[in-house]
Each structure stands twice: as C-alpha cells, then as structure tokens.
Structure 1
Amino acid sequence: MMVYKHGSPLLIEINDTRIHDDAISFWNLGQAGILIKGHEEDGFICIDPYLSNSIEQVNPETEFKRAYHPVLSPVMLENADAILITHEHDDHLDFATLREVGQNSENPIFVVPAPLVSMVRSETGNKNIVGAKANESFQIKGFKITPVPAAHTSYQIDLKGNHLYLGYCLEVNGVRLFHSGDTIVTPELIEKVKDFKPHVVFLPINGGDYFRSSREIVGNMSFREAVEFSIAVGADLIIPIHYDLFPNNRDNPAYFVDYLFTRYPNQKFHMMAPGERFIYHL
C-alpha cells in the first residue's frame, strides 16, 4: 500500500493548508479515518482515527494486521477541535489513540455514541465528551454535526433508545459531507442522507460474506451498494473508505472503479492514498 505523506510533513501540510471561498479540505488517515478542515475559524475535526497498533498489541494472534504504519502519531491530533467516533469497534474507537491525543491537551472534544460515554470517560480520563444521539444536531466551531443511525449489520439501541452505531452528516463552509461509519444500506439511511443532500460521501466498500461473518467479522456495504447508495442520495463526489488497512477484510477497489465506469461513467469519485489531501470546491 502506497502512503502519500506521513508524519511531520503531513502535519505541516494540515496546519499550513488555508481554505478560501466555498471549499473544504480533507485527508485520508487510513481505514475509516478522515480529517476535515474548513476555514481557520471553522477549526478541524477527525473521524475514527486508528493511529496505533493496539489491535495487534492486545492480541498478537489476531488476523487483523496493519498493512501500513499510521500516517500520523496520535499526539499530532492534539490541536483538533473534535474527534468523532462512529462506534465501538477497535479500528474506529481506538483507546490507544484517544489516550495519547488527550495526554497533553484537553482541546479535542470526543464525540461518541451516547451509550459509550461512560466507557470512553473511564478508559481515557477525558471529561470533555459529547454523547451523540441520532438526529440531534450540535455545533463544534464551524461544523454543524448531525448523527444518523447506522446498521452494522442491524440497528442496535441501548435501554434508553440511543443508537450504538452512527454515521455523521457534517456541514461546514457551505459544504455538506456524510461519513457513514460502518453500515449496510437500509431504506431509512437512504432517505435520511438523501434529505441532507450531501456533496461528498465517505462510504465503506469492503462488503461482507459468509466466511468473514463466521469469523465474527461484521459486514458493510459492498462496492456495488456504495455506488448505488451514492447515486440514490445524489452525492456529487464519492470517497471510498474501509478497504485498505487489513488484508483479511478487503475487497478490490478496482471493482468499485469498474462498476462506476460501466454503470455511471459521469459520477465523480476519488481513490485516496493514506496521507493524501483533497480540496473540494462548491
């Protein structure tokens, strides 16, 4: 796997990037990790950063082995305004990353599904935590954030009716983005995201199958479903995620590209390398 940029050069690029007019910048951190930056006054947020080897360290026998090193160290996110977590799986909610991010700075707000607040507070010691609830919008600097229920592979709620799996609709500087987290496609999700009218969607394309399910690897939408979902909700740009980090849970991204070329040749997309920047203009 080619890494576009990493470490200090990547951090310098993030800090030095200046956005003007109706635009935003975002970076691929690998797996489902995305960093998004608007104008300087908008700040920047990060979604689902897995920037450690904690899965392998906790269980050396695991089949989940990183295919490449993290593009940033966790402390490099200490100036983030918020870190959004979609659900509790280790490659999305990585306590090793969150502990290190909060070690020298209380700046990042941790946004997690409401049922996970007490666990995250206990594991990280961070008291600056927002419990995200489906369809309840909130503001962090220039970002309007609306959590939406995700189904990985079904909708799950706690005893208070709060969803354990979320995606996030984000609006900053006039640009609307949707990060699905881990999910399959449902009619409810199509309707919710279609109403949001996203310009950019970040969607998993690794799919699922019997053999992975039999090893308790929970499925996602496939490359075909991600494309059809994007068309159904009217997305301008598709950014596929969640297919690159773990060789045991991949699908070939060439299938995604081929399906678009065959069925929707005018649909915009971009395959991002880890550590790559993309600037999106309205």
Structure 2
Amino acid sequence: MKLTKYGHACVRLEKDGRVLVIDPGTFSDVAAALEGADAILVTHEHADHIDTARVLPVLAAEADLVLYAPASLAATLRSEAGDSASRILDAVPETVFDLAGFGVRTYGGQHALIHPHIPVVHNVGYVIDDSLYHPGDSFIVPHDVKVTTLLVPAHAPWSKSGEVIDFVIAVRPEKVYPIHDGLLNERGLALVDGHVGRFGGIYGTSYERLESGVGREV
C-alpha cells in the first residue's frame, strides 16, 4: 500500500483503489488527505488529530464515507453530524475488523499522561494490514502482530526523546516514519531525527522523515 503524510499526525493510505485516512487534524492538509477517501480512523479527540470543522462537512458530502473513533469522541461527533451520524462508529480497543479493503487491529485505550492536572482521554492505536502502526498519542506496543512500519510520535507535551527511542526499540519495526512533529522547527526536527535514527539503526530499523504530500510504498 502507499503511505502519504499530510502534516503532523495525518496519513493517507491507498491500496487497490481504496483510501483510508488516519487523524486528519488541525495541523494537517485535511482537504488533500480526504480527497476520494473511503474511511477515516481517528485515534483521539484532540484537535491536532481531528479537525471537526473540516471533517464533518466532508463526511456529510460523501455518502459512502465512514469514520471510526474512540466511543466518547464518536458519540460527540454523532451529536454534531446530523444525517451522517450513522456513519460514525465506535473504535473499540482490542478488536479486529475490515474497513474499506484494509484490515484493522486496535490497541491501547488511553492517551499518554501529559500532567496529573490534565484529564486523560481515550486513545486507540491502529495496526493496518498487520504491518503499519499508527499509535496516536501513546507508546502502546502491539501484541500478536509483527509491525514492519511504525509511525512514531516524534515530539509531544507528554513525551521525551528517550521514550521515543525506547518505543522504537520495543516495537523494532523495519521502517520508521516520524509523525506528530508539527510543533518542531528545523533544529528540533534534526535533533530528533538524529537520535531516533541512530539508536533505531542499532536494532535494525531504518528511519526516514517524510515531507507533507510525499508518499512511500510500505
């Protein structure tokens, strides 16, 4: 399948003429990512992972488009979606289902802790076709599947570089593409790339940063 990054945590997957988009948020090129999409997966409710103001109108305009999100978020979206509410479905952790020609496995259930004063929200990570993993805002390591391509959250208020490195080592994929990097400038990007690429390489992982709109076969 083809993987294309559309800024921050948003990726578009294409296979056999079908399109699956994960986390079209406010830091992303939502219009380009969702063009011709068959399905959307959302990991959690934070705006940088779902731009409700732009996603819901697309859902309303495309009668066959479906969206999966953690149950609490899905309920909120259904209350705002009008006639398209029936196409917003709950993503339940530890389940397996088919979606738009892609196999989906779900993991986790909880966003990483930012601070004890900040409520923890639901977060569901997705493994696609038993190979590509988008963890959302978590470092949950999938079980019962060998991830070959990891989309690693490179920078966040809830993480530090050492944890990013340890996550890559724990998953031990063949390939890593960084996501969740919309708050970093060029100096920060270079620093993270250097650390994660160097230490991941010790364990056999190849690291590559994708610019927005650039795709790779995975």
Structure 1 counterpart of 2:117 = none
Give 1 or 2 for the bigger CA radius of gyration: 1
Structure 2 counterpart of 1:236 = 174
> How many residue pairs align between the two structures?
208
Residues 1:253 and 2:212 are matched in the alignment: no
Q: State the distance in 1 between where 2:47 and 2:108 align.
A: 19
Residue 167 of structure 1: SS of its match in structure 2? strand
Q: State the distance in 1 between where 2:99 and 2:197 align.
A: 38
Q: 1:78, 1:105 within 8 Å by CA — same for their partners in 2?
A: no
Q: 1:206, 1:251 within 8 Å by CA — same for their partners in 2?
A: no
Q: State the distance in 1 between where 2:200 and 2:131 align.
A: 22
Q: 1:86, 1:167 within 8 Å by CA — same for their partners in 2?
A: yes
Q: 1:152 aligns with which of 108, 111, 114?
A: 111
How much does 1:222 deviate?
3.2
How much does 1:150 deviate?
4.6
Residues 1:223 and 2:147 are matched in the alignment: no
- Aligned pair in 2 of structure 1 residues 205, 261: CA closer, same or farther (>3 Å)? closer
Q: 2:150, 2:177 within 8 Å by CA — same for their partners in 1?
A: yes
Structure 2 counterpart of 1:170 = 128
Q: 1:80 aligns with which of 37, 40, 50?
A: 37
How much does 1:257 deviate?
2.4
- Aligned pair in 2 of structure 1 residues 181, 227: CA closer, same or farther (>3 Å)? same
TM-score normalised by L of structure 2:
0.84
- Aligned pair in 2 of structure 1 residues 274, 107: CA closer, same or farther (>3 Å)? same
Residues 1:31 and 2:12 are matched in the alignment: no
- Aligned pair in 2 of structure 1 residues 227, 105: CA closer, same or farther (>3 Å)? same
Moved over 4 A (4+): none
Q: 1:204, 1:222 within 8 Å by CA — same for their partners in 2?
A: no
Q: 1:78, 1:104 within 8 Å by CA — same for their partners in 2?
A: no
Structure 2 counterpart of 1:159 = none
Give aligned-pair identity as a percent: 26
Q: 2:197, 2:207 within 8 Å by CA — same for their partners in 1?
A: no
Q: State the distance in 2 between where 1:122 and 1:88 align.
A: 14
Residues 1:44 and 2:19 are matched in the alignment: yes
Residues 1:142 and 2:101 are matched in the alignment: yes
Q: 2:200, 2:206 within 8 Å by CA — same for their partners in 1?
A: no
How much does 1:104 deviate?
2.0
Q: State the distance in 2 between where 1:224 and 1:114 align.
A: 31
Q: State the distance in 2 between where 1:142 and 1:177 align.
A: 15
Q: What are the Cα deviations for residues 17-65 of structure 1, in whole angstroms up to 9, with x where unaligned?
A: xxxxxxx11111111100011122xx11000112x5xxxxxxxxxxxxx
Structure with larger RCO (C-alpha < 8 A, sep 6+): 1
One-letter code of the match for 2:20?
I
Give the alignment's Cα RMSD to 1 decimal.
2.5
Q: State the distance in 1 between where 2:47 and 2:30 align.
A: 17
Gaps of 5+ in 1: 1-23, 53-65, 155-162, 209-218
Structure 2 counterpart of 1:94 = 51
